[in-house]
Amino acid sequence: MATPMMTCFQERVEQVIERLHDVDAVKFGNFTLKSGIQSPVYFDLRVMISHPDIMVEVSKLLWDKISTSKFDSLCGVPYTALPIATLMSAANDVPMLIRRKEAKGYGTNKLIEGKFKEGDSCFIVEDVVSSGSSILETAQSLSSSGLVVKEAVVLLNREQGGVEKLDANGIVLHSVFTMTDVLNVLSKRGKMKPDMVTTVAEYIAANKFQPNKEILSAKPKINDVLKYSERAAMCTNELSRRLFGIMDKKKSNLALSADVTSSKELLQLVDKTGPHVCMVKTHVDILEDFNQEVVEKLTSLAAKHNFVLFEDRKFADIGNTVMHQYSGGVYHISEWADLINAHAVPGPGVIHGLKKIGASKGRACLLIAEMSSSGNLAKGSYSQDTVKMAEENKDFVIGFICVSKVSSDPTFLHMTPGVQLEAGKDNLGQQYLTPSEVIGNRGSDIMIVGRGIYQAQDPALAAKQFQIAGYDAYMARMAEAMIV
């Protein structure tokens, strides 16, 4: 029963909490959460979709929470919040946007569905927040498409750091109720046995986010909390030091894979996208009209826009042969490419041969520890042995081509190909992950993007979008490492 002092809003919140309990969206017992933690309370708010009356009331409560804010559109985080946002949008005549989660693989390749223009503000809607990662990921997609996200609203705040993490990323989180509110309401309304009330209260207290110094420094994930500038200072290799410095200065962890086949197209593409990248990767052997003038122009563009030049030659032969391939032939790669890469399959001789040519010129090499294509064989012990080989040759090997972080050494660079704004694949085995997955979740340092940029209608704009998405993911990863 509501007390006379209780506001109408509070009373409605209590009723919804009780209804959620009645339909088993809130359960008490002994549960193992996705994180492996044992919990006496379990929320499965998805069951709401089977109860339209609850959905409608929840959408009204969420709306009442945000009705004084100003925004151009709403965006529900998939999946449960999608229909909730739809109800809010329809009832209040506010446009909605949808952030695509799955690959579309055809058509416009749009990341955000719905009509908007650059600079429009969007309010994010979510059902439950724990650490805030899902909201942050959605916010990053929206902002990389030109939208401004300053606020989000959630039905249930689990009080596990979401508010703080979002705040660190410039987003204010509003919530209708917290886990403590759920406990208070259900115990007051006689829905829980007294010993369960104590157990849940203890669980909430033990898992509650405490923004104190000890927690901030509890789990430093070494190269997650180190800034590019700090990592630059730790590097003994001149090229990796320079590269981290460029990433810091240009706020870019984007490498353009400039896989076009005419020199003119290559130079135009690189000049347009140069301001947004820390690196340009080439396959000179696909140029139909290669000549030395092209590489001279490329190196002057590298100086003009301040990026590193990486020839993706993937050397994979015995030391003596790769020496010739690297220094001679038509391309004279060692004369102009700052960085090259090699497969570890021939053994350390491939590195020693390349080093003989490149080290004295200040060049460096990446080893291919993993690949992005489906069915590739670079995995498990092969990848681990590749990392060992790199560790033994740190004077010349400065990092890896990989699809997730393979070494915790902060002076090694992790570079990941197979990146698009939407996950998916091409029809020849290439597999794509998103910038937030690659940089944010998998701990890579640089994302390599080819067709996502040079096949875009406006490659410079696409490069800018990738630059923002990649840098936002890096900042979010840093913020997360600080509060985990």
Question: Where is the binding site for substrate, in residues?
Answer: 259, 281, 372, 430, 450-451
For the bound state, the minimum distance from the C-beta of residue 375 to ligand S5P, rounded and expressed in Å, comes to: 12
The one catalytic residue in 44, 64, 317, 409 is 317
Confirm whether 27 is a catalytic residue: no
The residue among 112, 135, 131 whose CA lies nearest residue 123 is 135
| Residue number, 178 or 430, with CB nearest to ligand S5P | 430
Question: What letter represents residue 288's amino acid?
Answer: E
Token pair 């927690």 is found at 215
- Give me the least distance between CB of 371 and ligand S5P, in Å please: 3
Inter-CA distances, 89 with 67, 85, 123, 148, 304, Å: 12, 6, 11, 18, 48
| Contact set with ligand S5P (CB under 6 A) | 257, 259, 283, 312, 371-373, 401, 417-418, 430, 448-452
Alpha helices in 274-379 (DSSP H): 292-305, 319-327, 333-336, 349-358
Between 161 and 418, whose beta carbon lies closer to ligand S5P? 418
Specify the DSSP element, H or E, that contains 250: helix 238-250
Closer of 184 and 376 to ligand S5P (Cβ) = 376
Shortest Cβ distance from residue 401 to ligand S5P (Å)?
5
Report the residue number, 1 or 377, with the smaller CB distance to ligand S5P: 377
Burial (CB < 10 A; 0-12, 13-18, 19+), residue 8, is: exposed
Given 60, 104, 314, 394, which residue is catalytic? 314
Closer by beta carbon to ligand S5P, 417 or else 435: 417
Query: What is the distance between the alpha carbons of residues 182 and 204, in angstroms, rounded to a whole number?
Result: 11
Q: How far is the CB of 350 from ligand S5P (least distance, A)?
A: 16
Whether 314 sits among the annotated catalytic residues: the reply is yes
Residues 483/212, Cβ–Cβ less than 8 Å:
no
Residue 139's alpha-carbon distances to 130, 143, 145, 246, 469, in angstroms, are 16, 6, 10, 26, 10
Q: Any idea which residue has 């929206």 for tokens?
A: 142
Which of 186, 106, 99 minimizes the C-alpha distance to 134? Answer: 99
Q: Of residues 181, 312, 338, 445, which has the active-site annotation?
A: 312
Instruction: Establish whether 317 is a catalytic residue.
Output: yes
Closest CA to 471 of 74, 28, 130, 143: 143
Q: Measured from the CB of residue 281, what is the shortest distance to ligand S5P in angstroms?
A: 6
Q: Which residue is nearest to ligand S5P (CB)?
A: 450
Residues belonging to the active site: 312, 314, 317
